Chains A and B, each alone.
Chain A
Amino acid sequence: METTVKGRVWKICDAGGRLIDDIDTDQIFHNAHLAITDIGKMGAHAFGNLEGWKDFPSKAKPGDILMVGGNFGAGSSRQHAVDCFASLGTGLIIAESYGAIYERNAINSGFPILACPGVKELAIKNGDSIEVDLRTGKMRNMTEGRDLGQARPFSGVQMDIYRAGNLFDYARGM
């Protein structure tokens, strides 16, 4: 499994241009669609209840990298809130911090997420391309050709599950 991720950045900001904090799971994937069990059908509802971002699925491309504020994915245990991004082919999410259940759900399904205290201060514009090393947490702005500093690297268990593919495949190898 590739441990370097490259992609175009989407900064998920409010109308004032600030990365949004406390984006809850209802804003990421509204409870009206919880009966969906097919991951392929989840991408269409990503950020479907987040003011200013409801058209995100039509703009996102596979491999894109999302940058969000603190406590991303607060609230519900719904796996849909992770799977909708997997459905869109999103390459990575970088947040200041995550809701605990959201973080577990992403790790266990092998979806790459990084916590990056200080993400709001990074020198990145919407649409810049960045490269991130999941093992070290090092980030580089490829568009501007400069280093961006450090996210928290993957934890041991996170890397093990990510390399295996998901929790099920990881457990088979134990």
Chain B
Amino acid sequence: MGMTMIEKILKNHTKDEVAPGKIIWLDLDVRSARDFGGASVVKNLREHFPGGKLADSAKTFFTFDCVVPANTIAYAENQQTCRDYAAEQGIRLYDVDAGIGSHVMIEEGIAIPGATVVGTDSHLNIMGALGAFGQGMGDVDIAFAFKTGRTWFEVPRSMKIVLKGTYQYPATAKDLILFIIGKLGASGGLGYSVELYGPAIERMTLAERITVASMGTEMGTITFLMEPGDEILEYSRKRSGKAHIERISADADAHYDKVLELDVAGLAPQIALPPKPSKVSAVAEVSGKKINSVFIGSCTNGTYDDIRLAAEILKGGKVAPGVMAKVVPATKEVYGRMLSEGLLETFFSSGVIVSNPGCGGCASGQIGMTGKGEVQISTSNRNFAGKQGSGDTYLASPVTAAWCALKGEICAPGVKPVAAR
């Protein structure tokens, strides 16, 4: 019997038999903690393994991304706890200026195709964009991973989703993944490792794959895996300095518990209504609703490509009166490109607030929270009640979000906004 992608990746990191439902001990290439969860990881390590060394400091990282820089004393203290521990153990720490941990790890070549990566970020399965295993875990798990370099894992069942047809701009990768989650539901992939195939996936850039993979958690999946193309392998070789990175592909006779086909030809821009990422409809069906706020950023849509798409629409226009539009780049590298390629000027002139890199409002962070009654269009991954404040959050693509910012209401991209030019 052949193996699926997840089975092959796990097989390369364990001595145990790999089959769905089996518990294996998994060697971890990368383990990380961030500013939320990190202090508890340190607390667990100090309490349960006092004075001990970690399995391998060179594979262990802190990445701060939730509340950066700290805007509460409690967060400042938690971050300092991590800094002290990092210095003590000789661990690399990406501080409050660096950006979202998962993105930093991809940019720095710490996470590469085929790797096993765990951390306290529940969207760490974003690594599926590289064809790698990424997994968010709690404080106990990650403390154990720091100490031992491994963890137990139940080999997940695999599902294959084959996308038929292709779609065109203004539909984007975000619209595609919202469409899939809307079709399958919030628990449609519960416990599965889902592999995505089809021409719509094959032509995707790394940034687009990141958008797709980052929302696997919202369908209950362990991970969304996409086989990396040459472009992604080359990117990771360059970033990591590793000349040989293996491309992990599923065997032709691999077993999938479920195989689904979805037709995405002519996909229209999608939007998730509050309070669930799975409550999806076409943007056109809810157009006309007044908005107060727009947030463009997060691990789902905070790459340079995402932000450039929004800038192209906003260039020369003005954000509608009464709308607070906010852009948060995922990383310092993205921020630097915004500066060197003129995007900061575009946003400034359009009346958009640009903050330093980070997660934005997803964890009550530095920017993007709503007040009661406020309606926000967000490019992030979750619109759970209360998550981004007490208002109503709608999830959409950067393209849709930028059009909505100009018009001051929910509108499908491509409809010329009243306030533009």
Q: A residues bordering B, Cβ < 8 Å?
A: 21-22, 24, 26-27, 30-32, 34-37, 49, 51, 70-71, 74-79, 82, 97, 99-101, 104-105, 108-109, 155-157, 166-168, 171
B307 at the interface (CB under 8 A from A): no
Residues of chain B within 8 A of A36, CB atoms compared: 74
B282 at the interface (CB under 8 A from A): no
Residues of chain B within 8 A of A22, CB atoms compared: 186-187, 276
Closest Cβ of chain B to A30, distance in Å, is 6
Residues of chain A within 8 A of B43, CB atoms compared: 37
Bound CA–CA A108/B148 (angstroms): 15
Residues of chain B within 8 A of A82, CB atoms compared: 138
A26 B220 Cβ-Cβ under 8 A: no
A78 B74 Cβ-Cβ under 8 A: no
A49 B385 Cβ-Cβ under 8 A: yes
Interface readout for B349-363 with A: 1 if CB under 8 Å, 0 if not?
A: 000000000000011
Residues of chain B within 8 A of A168, CB atoms compared: 44, 48-49, 140, 143-144
Contact A74-B138, Cβ < 8 Å, known A22-B276, A26-B385, A51-B385 = no
Total chain B interface residues with beta-carbon distance under 8 A: 46
Interface readout for B48-91 with A: 1 if CB under 8 Å, 0 if not?
A: 11000000000000000010000010110110000000000000
B120 at the interface (CB under 8 A from A): yes
B4 at the interface (CB under 8 A from A): no
Contact A34-B385, Cβ < 8 Å, known A22-B276, A167-B144 = no
A34 B364 Cβ-Cβ under 8 A: yes
Bound CA–CA A64/B43 (angstroms): 28
B191 at the interface (CB under 8 A from A): yes
A79 B140 Cβ-Cβ under 8 A: yes
Give the one of B137, B138, B148, B387 with max A CB within 10 A.
B138
Which chain B residue lies CB-closest to A35?
B74
- Cβ-defined partner of B39 (8 Å) among A26, A37, A105: A37
Give 4 A-B pairs besides A75-B382, A79-B40 with Cβ atoms closer than 8 angstroms: A22-B186, A31-B364, A71-B187, A79-B140
- Cβ-defined partner of A77 (8 Å) among B77, B137, B154: B137
CB-contacts of B13-49 with A (<8 A): 23, 36-37, 39-40, 43-44, 48-49
Closest Cβ of chain B to A102, distance in Å, is 8
B37 A78 Cβ-Cβ under 8 A: yes
Closest Cβ of chain A to B54, distance in Å, is 14
Residues of chain A within 8 A of B250, CB atoms compared: none
Contact A75-B40, Cβ < 8 Å, known A27-B386, A100-B191 = no
A105 B40 Cβ-Cβ under 8 A: no
Residues of chain A within 8 A of B131, CB atoms compared: none
Bound CA–CA A54/B309 (angstroms): 41
B152 at the interface (CB under 8 A from A): yes
B384 at the interface (CB under 8 A from A): yes
